[in-house]
Amino acid sequence: MKKQNHLSRRKFLADSAKAAALVSASGLLTSCSSCSARSGVKYKIPRRTLGNTGLEVSILAFGGGSQFLQNNDGEWEKLLETAVEGGINLFETAPSYIASEFWETGDGKSLDSSEQRYGEVLSAYRDQLILSTKLSSRDPEEAKKSLESSLKNFRTDHLDMLLIHGITAEDNISKIENGLFKTMHSFKESGVVKNIGFSCMNDAEHGRDMLEKLDFDVVLVTMNATKYGGFAETILPVARKKNAGIMAMKVMRDIVGESATPKELLKYAWTQPGVATATIGHWGIETLQENIRIAQEYVDDPVATLDRDELEQRLASYAGPHALCWARPGYRDGDIVVKDSKSYIA
């Protein structure tokens, strides 16, 4: 399949209108124009509308963080190919996800960056997929440079979603509103980015405040049966009221095993009101294949065969830094570091 042209920094920064025309002409502004219910198409994995974005996303999304970066050369390529073939159409990552900062990279020949790995394999399927990455810096000029680099890494001329990485209480909402938020809107106006949002891992209250104050299109938030962080109670009602697309993360890490099955944990996320997809980082082809199978067999049912209260009670003892590595002080998510159960930029 034909790969897309790169968007140069000069064209992007100096003439955003021209960039918009380029994207529009390419016909790639919409990665998925209709859902199975409307089009009659039966997808391998069920898809849901992501808030007001118009995007139809697979209920299982692929995360490009530390778990994905554990896969060796010859393995990560197969994982990405298997994900596409299995029906996953949403791939999410961040420029700060670098293999050598998490794991040994052997002889150094591997592509170190998660974004570059995505670009290596997924660029061949660009018109079928939804790509999402993040911004670590809150500085508008740094954000422009980061977006330019991400476009180059992905080998594309546009992104479907661009998120602020790891909103915490240390983020000044007014400052973001008058700076980075305006810059992200300029990305949308140019057509280089279609939807904007933020991720929030440990601070549901500040995420709620951010979403109440600013009109973001999408949010990526912690959502699992331990109820740690209280995101379902705190941020989901606001997201649903504003019709923002909701993506769940931290769904299974450190929980799956004897205490709960992957099917239970995925189903718990999928049955949260308003949640469109669960983003999972995969280490090993067997785990990916199992999750794809679970997603392919899942049927939306308002009366789901899952005792949510019983599962929450069963996993209540896991709700804290003692059991969840990503809630533990010192945990790194790219350049996000957890400190006292709150995240901040390193």
Residue in this structure with the two tokens 């209709």, named with its chain if needed: 34
pLDDT at 338 over 70: no
- Return d(Cα 7, Cα 172) in angstroms, integer: 31
Q: Give tens-digit pLDDT for 16-48.
A: 433 333 333 333 322 333 344 444 557 899 999
Determine the residue type at 273: P
pLDDT band for position 1 (50/70/90)?
A: very low
Residue 178: count of CB within 10 angstroms of its CB? 11
**CA 163 remoteness from chain centre:** 8
Residue in this structure with the two tokens 């209260």, named with its chain if needed: 309
Q: Give tens-digit pLDDT for 263-283.
A: 999 999 999 999 999 999 999
The contacts of residue 109 (CB under 8 Å, 6+ apart) are: 73
Q: Give tens-digit pLDDT for 129-147.
A: 999 999 999 999 999 999 9
Q: What is the pairing mode between strands 218-222 and 60-63? A: unpaired
50 and 276 Cβ atoms separated by less than 8 Å = yes
Residues facing 277 on adjacent strands: 247
- Return d(Cα 141, Cα 184) in angstroms, integer: 11
Residue 48: phi and psi, rounded to 5, are -130, 155
pLDDT given for residue 104 in this prediction: 63
287 and 67 Cβ atoms separated by less than 8 Å = no
Q: Give tens-digit pLDDT for 61-100.
A: 999 998 999 998 899 999 999 999 999 999 999 999 998 8
- Return d(Cα 247, Cα 330) in angstroms, integer: 25
Instruction: Quote the longest CA-to-CA distance of the chain.
Output: 56
Taken in order of first residue, the domains within the chain and their CATH numbers are 9-345 (3.20.20.100)
The first and second tokens of residue 27, run together, are: 């016909």
pLDDT at 303 over 50: yes
176 and 138 Cβ atoms separated by less than 8 Å = yes
- Return d(Cα 342, Cα 327) in angstroms, integer: 8
Please choose, from the candidates 41, 37, 34, 46, the residue with its C-alpha nearest in 3D space to the C-alpha of residue 295: 46
Q: Sign of the C-alpha dihedral, residues 293, 200, 220, 212?
A: positive
The first and second tokens of residue 84, run together, are: 């596409």
Q: In residues, how long is the chain?
A: 346
pLDDT at 4 over 70: no
pLDDT given for residue 342 in this prediction: 53
Q: Residue 122: helix, strand or coil by DSSP?
A: helix
Continuous H helices in 27-113: 36-39, 66-69, 76-86
